[in-house]
Amino acid sequence: MASFVRNNPINNDNFRIDTPQNSSSPIRIAFLGDCKTGKTSIISKLSQGVLTDTYYPTIRTNSNLLTFFPESPQSLKVLDPSFKDFTSIDDNLNLSPVLKRIASKGNKIFKRKRTASDSTGTEIIVHSKNDYYRSYNYKKEIGKASSPHVTPIFVELIDTPPFKSDVVPFLESSLYTNLDKDILKNLANEPRRDVSTMPLLVASGAGDLNSLIDGYFFVYSAVPSYQPPSYEESSSVNSTNDPDSLQTIIRLKHSLDDAWKEFYTFKKNWEQGKEADIYSIKDALKNVFFNKSISEVESDKLSKRKFYKDLLELPKDPANPNSAPPIWIICTHVKSHLASPILIEEGKKYAKKWDYGFIGIDITEDLDVVISLMIREIVERKILQKLDRK
């Protein structure tokens, strides 16, 4: 079970097995979804080990830093670099494409055994090392049928208010730079509205969610809503027959896609602008001898800095470092007597269609396997990206 991070000094000794290896860079995971889907309950169970029957709606984005201790057999298996039989973890588990590749081919590169010692001097065998954790066994355990232990992992779980479709995915104005009307369009003609102060994704880091997120959980409930859809929803051309919380997941998916496309497009064009700046400086030095004025050089520079009008397609390959972070769908309340089997299967279909992972959970049970699946996904993606650069 996970526990709160207290004000204890973090030992940066890489050979310590009782402290996080990523103490300076926690894994940042955001939970997104509709109201009453269980986002806050999942985080509360993981961070404090307790649940409450009273519902308190989440008003603002909350960050929860914790030291995650993988202890359940399922969680330890998922984080074991040699483990491939993910189908034994849970009946309501559909793997993401990255973990499917591991299940079919394995990952020999992940495994690097070496000898070390714990804080008491007891000899251990380190099976693997990555940016976030180490897997190991005590030497006396070698040869016995047991999953490797895992060092604690520093994690930041980000709880968010119920998703609203009118949030702004990404605004360049969040960068507080002097951008032209061609980029800001109508935003340049009026004060920033309230909605523009709560974007889903910003580049500057000033917003609640930014491009430093390592992974997303889309959360919906297996229990259908008893409330009929509003007139606006029922008359919308984009409405579906899915219950409210699953409709929210669909809208959330499209909004987050747009956010990452805009961020990727902005980043690429900003990099091109920097290249144009360097070119114009060299051009200015060269043209000093030809009496070309600085204003003319600046004009040339601006002509080379071309901002986007159409969004670039985001790379889909997880081996590409510019691809969006991994996304998993969590279906809660799957063991409730009110749960809809059809709704659970619909969530699986969407996850397969979008190349997401899927897991159905009951919040009263142990949930550390949920975080372990996301961490393993993040680690495997980093391995793919390192291999792609070679």
Mean pLDDT of all residues in 144-173: 83
Q: How confident is the model at residue 174 (pLDDT cuts 50, 70, 90)?
A: very low
pLDDT digits (tens, 9 = 90+) for 230-242: 444 443 434 444 4
Domains of the chain by start residue, with CATH:
3-160+329-389 (3.40.50)
Q: What is the pLDDT of residues 264-316, one digit of tens each?
A: 888 887 777 654 444 454 454 455 444 545 455 455 544 444 444 578 899 99
Answer whether 170's CB lies under 8 Å from 201's CB.
Answer: yes
Question: What mean pLDDT comes out for the span 84-95?
Answer: 88
Model pLDDT for residues 13-39, shown as the tens digit of each residue: 345 788 898 988 999 999 999 998 999
Q: What is residue 28's predicted lDDT score, i.e. its pLDDT?
A: 96
Predicted TM-score (pTM) of this structure: 0.80
Contact 158, 43 (CB under 8 A): no
pLDDT of residue 81: 84
Which residues, at least 6 apart from 231, have a Cβ–Cβ distance to it below 8 Å? none
Q: Are 173 and 196 in contact (CB under 8 A)?
A: yes
Nearest to 223 by CA among 36, 32, 31, 33: 36
